[in-house]
Amino acid sequence: MPKSSIAIDGEHLSLHEVVQVAHGQADVRLAATARQRVAQSQAWVEEIIARGKPVYGINTGFGIFADKQISPQDTRTLNRNLILSHATATGPELPAEVVRAAMLIRANTLAAGHSGARPELIETLLAMLNKDVTPIIPSQGSLGSSGDLAPLSQLALVLSTDAADRDEDSGWAVYDGQRMSGKAAMSAAGIPRLVLGPKEGLAITNGATFSAALGALTLVLAETLLDAASLSAAMALDAMQGASAALDPRLHAARKQPGQMAVAERMRALTAGSTLLDTAGRVQDVYSLRCAPQIQGPAHDALAYVRTVIEREINAATDNPLLFDSQSISGGNFHGEPVGMALDFLKIALSEIAAVSERRSFLLLDSKMNGGLPAMLVASPEAAGLNSGMMMLQYTAASLVLENQTLAAPDSVRSLPTSAGQEDHNANSMTAARHAWQVAHNCAHVLAVELTLGARALELRLGQHPQAQAGRGTAAALAAIRKHVPAHEHDALWAPGVERVKTMLLAGELSAL
């Protein structure tokens, strides 16, 4: 499939485009109008230097050394030293798609024309994306203020150099499937490395860019997860012969919560045509079924808020200082608080989606609560004991839910001062972003467990009532799952089937049902 082409201008980058570039599905170029703005911004930097007055970040030191003026002949050394001294990230490496998303977002930030960087810096980042040079970036060590300094400095090691041009000072990258030094990767790809000029060290490292990249990709994943949660809830409701009154549109309109109404509408569509609903004689169901719209709906509302924050952030000028008409203005746009708070909210929402999903999985397995289905969904009740059924899947889901409950604790409320107290309140946004990413992937597995159990339970229920039929959407989901995951009469290795369902879920194959 040919790649699409995206032009960045600092203002109109979409989440869809971030995902495309992150997965190597699009090439990127700098829009002509943005190139003009960037060149003008760089000219302003030259004007400021020519005046000879100290201006933070351009001809001064950084942080607590802001009062130290730097001579024009030392500005290149200043910017290289910034990168070398700040590349202190540690921990497991970030996934390649996260690094690529961050590179795109950083390039788009610079394209706004307020950072004072040369167009060549942006074009180097874009060349790395287009030729698939992916820096290796450790995931820990950023407070999100002044932006994601450590990981962005690791990125800058790969694209920048100095007179010594030492291989060991060039970081690491993957090119053509091989791990190598940044210097070797850039050389192999035919991309010249840059000697950073005035302001460019801060321009490339200031801003919560990796936090925003993780946030953008997690948000898009979360939208898929919420749709899958409506499907898994509908399958469980159908398999449990649940009470349809809980989905009545009048009930939800009376609450006036848009997310709740959307989930109820989706569940009604998925269960439409079911002759299993309302046949158990129950007036009302347990909360995980009856209140699914009220529990899962707020997550939809949370996503709407998070989407607004992230869409703004990926099109924001976030370094410091910023340039406006040859005037340098020092402030704090690098501070990751908006991203950190939003991703804390997203963690809570996804943690609750997983929590209620696990409760429905428990319900389907418990013979005291599942309305006559076999204990642990053992296909042949007479073989119970010899067969453990699908009992352990709920254990896994419960473990992930408990982990999520820890990870969902807010990170943005935690702060320690740095830089001798100059930076006395930090956002902790990168930790929030990493935790949100993990919560989302845990949630995906919990939902895959419920969908696997829901398919089994629905089959068994239809076996009990041969004349009945499932809802049109739930029946289609059962058929889609059975295309990839065969039913087993006796105990089997369940985990590969759950993984296949999760792959279907993440690919959006269950969202169109």
Query: Of 173, 207, 241, which residue is a domain's last?
Result: 207
- Answer yes or no: do 308 and 456 share one domain: yes
Is residue 172 classed as helix, strand or coil in its secondary structure? strand
Per residue in 17-65, pLDDT tens?
999 999 999 999 999 999 999 999 999 999 988 888 888 888 887 777 8
Residue 431: closest CA among 89, 136, 83: 89
- Answer yes or no: do 290 and 164 share one domain: no
Can you read off the two tokens belonging to residue 497? 């089937």
- Answer yes or no: do 170 and 306 share one domain: no
For residue 16, being part of any structural domain is answered with yes
Measure the CA dihedral 311/316/320/321, to 10°.
-160
Q: Are 156 and 87 in contact (CB under 8 A)?
A: yes
- Answer yes or no: do 201 and 233 share one domain: no
Q: Are 458 and 233 in contact (CB under 8 A)?
A: no
For residue 323, being part of any structural domain is answered with no
User: Does the pLDDT value for residue 413 go beyond 80?
Assistant: yes
Identify the residue whose tokens are 């039929």: 469
Interatomic CA distance for residues 301 and 6, integer angstroms: 30
Dihedral of CA 85/90/93/98: which sign? Answer: negative
Q: Are 302 and 265 in contact (CB under 8 A)?
A: no
- State the amino acid at position 133 in one-letter form: V
Range of the domain at 274: 214-318+331-414+425-506
The total number of structural domains that make up the chain = 2
Can you read off the two tokens belonging to residue 474? 């739930």
Query: Of 183, 207, 231, which residue is a domain's last?
Result: 207
- Answer yes or no: do 356 and 377 share one domain: yes
For residue 324, being part of any structural domain is answered with no
CATH number at residue 107: 1.10.275.10
> Is residue 305 among the annotated active site residues?
no
Q: Does pTM surpass 0.95?
A: yes
How many CA atoms within 13 Å lie on the side-chain side of 419?
Answer: 16
Q: What is the pLDDT of residue 183?
A: 98
- Answer yes or no: do 257 and 313 share one domain: yes
For residue 512, being part of any structural domain is answered with no
- Answer yes or no: do 157 and 263 share one domain: no
CATH number at residue 482: 1.20.200.10
Identify the residue whose tokens are 């790969």: 158
For residue 139, being part of any structural domain is answered with yes
Task: Taking residues 418-439, report their average pLDDT.
Answer: 95
Per residue in 201-225, pLDDT tens?
999 999 999 999 999 999 999 999 9
- Answer yes or no: do 194 and 233 share one domain: no
Q: List, in order, residues 6 or more apart from 490 with CB less than 8 Å away.
A: 379, 380, 383, 387
For residue 420, being part of any structural domain is answered with no
Residue 214: closest CA among 510, 489, 444, 440: 440
For residue 419, being part of any structural domain is answered with no
- Answer yes or no: do 483 and 361 share one domain: yes
Per-residue b or e along 12-44, where b marks 16 or more CB atoms closer than 10 Å to that residue's CB:
ebebebbbbbbeeebbbebbeebbebbeebbeb
- Answer yes or no: do 94 and 236 share one domain: no
Q: Are 387 and 106 in contact (CB under 8 A)?
A: no
For residue 513, being part of any structural domain is answered with no
Query: Of 154, 188, 207, which residue is a domain's last?
Result: 207
- Answer yes or no: do 347 and 465 share one domain: yes
- Answer yes or no: do 186 and 279 share one domain: no
Q: Are 54 and 60 in contact (CB under 8 A)?
A: yes
Read off the pLDDT band of 467 (50, 70, 90). very high
